[in-house]
Amino acid sequence: MLYLFSMEIIKIHDKSFEPYIEAEQIQQIIQRMASEVAKDMEDTCPLFVSVLNGAFMFASDFVRHYKADCEITFVKLASYQGMQSTEKVVELIGLDIPVEGRDVVVLEDIIDTGNTLEEIYRIFHDKKVKSLRIATLFFKPDAYKKDLKIDYVGQPIPNRFIVGYGLDYDELGRNLPQIYQLNNSITMTNLVLFGKPGAGKGTQAAFLKDKYNLVHISTGDLFRFNIKNETKLGKLAQSYMDKGDLVPDEVTIQMLQQEIENNPKAEGFIFDGFPRTIAQAEALDDFLASKGMKIHGTLALEANDEILIQRLLERGKVSGRTDDQDESKIRNRFVEYNEKTAPLIEFYKKQGKYHGIDGIGTIEEITTRLSNAIDNLK
Q: Does residue 275 have a known ligand-binding role?
A: yes
Q: Whose CA is closest to 290, among 181, 180, 137, 160? A: 160
Q: Does residue 248 have a known ligand-binding role?
A: no
Looking at the chain, which residues constitute the CATH 3.40.50.2020 domain(s)?
10-182
- Which stretches of 195-277 are DSSP H helices? 201-212, 219-228, 232-242, 249-261
HSE on the CB side for 107, CA within 13 Å? Answer: 27
Annotation says 276 is catalytic: yes
Looking at the chain, which residues constitute the CATH 3.40.50.300 domain(s)?
189-376
**Do the Cβ atoms of 135 and 70 come closer than 8 Å?**
no
Q: Does residue 202 have a known ligand-binding role?
A: yes
Q: How far from each other are the two terminal CA atoms of the chain, in whole angstroms?
A: 24
- Tens-digit pLDDT string for the chain (378 aa): 444 433 478 888 878 888 999 999 999 999 999 999 999 999 899 999 998 889 999 999 999 999 999 999 988 875 555 555 545 545 546 778 889 999 999 999 999 989 889 888 988 888 899 999 999 999 999 888 899 999 999 999 988 889 999 999 988 999 999 999 887 665 678 999 988 888 888 889 999 999 988 999 988 889 999 999 999 999 999 998 888 887 888 898 889 988 888 887 788 999 998 898 898 999 999 888 877 788 999 999 988 888 888 888 888 877 777 766 788 888 888 888 888 888 899 999 999 999 999 988 888 999 999 999 998 885
Q: Does residue 356 have a known ligand-binding role?
A: no
Annotation says 333 is catalytic: yes
Fold of 10-182: Rossmann fold (3.40.50)
Q: What is the pLDDT of residue 356?
A: 93
Catalytic, out of 128, 149, 321, 349: 321
Q: Does residue 133 have a known ligand-binding role?
A: no
**Do the Cβ atoms of 97 and 73 come closer than 8 Å?**
yes
pTM of the model as a whole: 0.56
**Do the Cβ atoms of 188 and 263 come closer than 8 Å?**
no
Catalytic, out of 174, 276, 294, 353: 276
Q: What is the pLDDT of residue 92?
A: 47
Q: Does residue 199 have a known ligand-binding role?
A: yes
Q: Does residue 315 have a known ligand-binding role?
A: yes
Q: Does residue 280 have a known ligand-binding role?
A: yes
Q: What is the DSSP letter of 286?
A: H
Beta-bridge partner residues of 111: 139
Q: Is 115 helix (H, G, I), strand (E, B) or coil?
A: helix
CATH 3.40.50.300: does it fit domain 189-376? yes
Q: What is the pLDDT of residue 180?
A: 93
Q: What is the pLDDT of residue 129?
A: 94
**Do the Cβ atoms of 25 and 196 come closer than 8 Å?**
no
Catalytic, out of 201, 291, 311, 369: 201
Annotation says 291 is catalytic: no
CA 145 vs CA 51, 55, 170, 252, 287: distances in Å: 20, 21, 24, 20, 19
Catalytic, out of 146, 174, 209, 315: 315
Between CA 266 and CA 246 the distance in angstroms is 30
